[in-house]
Structure 1
Amino acid sequence: MSCPRRSISEDEINDLVAKLQALLPHSSSRSRTRVPASKILKETCSYIQRLHREVDDLSNKLSQILANMDTTGVDFDILRSVLQQ
């Protein structure tokens, strides 16, 4: 049984885009002038791609660290400090 589809109003879309915009750090879209939703969506995509690259980089760093150390005596304070860089 499928759920009935409900159309989203323009006001709801604008509200969702504004919430999305608020999540973007250092957004050039934070000016008081109206910014097109397409620009906010492009900035969001770029931000998500940047976050993916950061996660990949951190994952690679962690893999290298673990490969180069004896995991039986892992100093988790060292790992934590490296990951916070």
Structure 2
Amino acid sequence: MTHDRTTQNDQLYRYEITAAMNAVVRTCADIVRDHSHRGFWTPHTTTDQATHQDLIEAARKDVLNHLQMVIQCAETVAYAIEQDRQRQPNKPTE
């Protein structure tokens, strides 16, 4: 692989991981904006006297599922980059 091609791939890797991490940060910001007040989670439940099960369901729906999905996507991007770098001959890791 030529030096120019390697440099181009490295730049693409940086763009990909940056975009993936930006998605994580944006999701966190969206969750804070939509599901908190002054830094504390405000669950969206159907009743003021929510049971522990209501709170668990709200936590999953409001926060956990969104975070898990975006984190898994970022991990997938990172893994794909690592695998691609390993396939490149004579490419030192950073």
Alignment TM class, shorter chain as reference? 0.3 to 0.5
Q: Which has the larger radius of gyration?
A: 1
Higher relative contact order (CA 8 A, sep 6+): 2
TM-score (norm 2): 0.42
